[in-house]
Amino acid sequence: MARYLDVHPVDPQPRAITQAVQLIRDGGLVAYPTDSGYALGCALGNQEGKDRIVRIRHLNDKHHFTLVCADFAQLGQLVHIDNSVFRAVKAATPGSYTFILPATKEVPRRLLHAKKKTVGVRIPDNRVVQALLAELGEPMLSSTLILPGETDPMTEGWLVKEELDHQVDAVIDSGECGTEPTTVIDFSDGAPEVVRVGAGDPTPFE
């Protein structure tokens, strides 16, 4: 049964955040609110956590997992960014965007797109996620919580708890959550390609 952690959306209680982070460090899988719906998150090196996300979402091997970062310094350690891309990404973060970029050697090979050697990265505009990442001290492996057969992410903590009670280790509920998934921008080939239009305005990348 998943632990249910009720937190304040603007000033999340440190005790609840610490409990969630300890679960992540211990190999757990956590459902948490972001600026673009709920997401599933685990530690970067947690292969079982990744496998659990795949099972919950019925994903195939073409899926781009996202590395959720606290800030640009973390993001810069994970992906290669040239100057033109840097300016565009910097202007759009934090925000409801996922950027697909060539990965550095800091990223485990099993997290990369098999052919392109790319990975998705984002910096969410959400106080709860920022508190989680600050306490964790490293990026988190993540995937938007869109259930099989659905097109939109889950947005309410109590529903997530009801649906995934025996499949995740904790559900963080802050009462407020974005309702659209991220806008996905692919820089694999240098020029931006809008792969998915979501909560973030795609105009700067078109």
List the beta strands (DSSP E) in the chain.
3-6, 30-34, 37-43, 66-68, 97-102, 118-122, 140-144, 170-173, 183-186, 193-196
The one-letter amino acid code at 152 reads: D
Q: Where are the alpha helices (DSSP H) in 27-116?
A: 47-57, 72-78, 83-91
3-class DSSP assignment, residue 9: coil
131-159 per-position pLDDT tens digit = 999 999 999 999 999 999 998 899 999 99
| Residue 160: band (very low, low, confident or very high) from pLDDT cuts 50, 70, 90 | very high
* Predicted confidence (pLDDT) per residue in 77-103, tens digit: 999 998 889 999 999 999 999 999 999
120 φ, ψ (degrees, to nearest 5): -90, 140
Distances, alpha carbon 124 to alpha carbons 12, 48, 88, 115, 162, in Å = 15, 24, 16, 27, 25
Cα gap 103→11, rounded to integer Å = 33
Relative to beta strand 140-144, strand 37-43 is antiparallel
Domain at 3-205: CATH architecture? Alpha-Beta Complex (3.90)
pLDDT at 110 over 90: no
The pLDDT of residue 124 is 96
Q: How many helices (H) and strands (E) does the chain have?
A: 6, 10
Give the domain ranges of the chain. Answer: 3-205
Residues 6 or more apart in contact with residue 22 via CB below 8 angstroms: none
pLDDT over 80 at 61, yes or no: no
Give the angle 20-96-80 at the CA atoms, nearest 5°: 90
Residues 6+ away with beta carbon under 8 Å from 39: 31, 32, 66, 68, 142, 143, 144, 145, 153
pLDDT of 111 over the 90 cut: no
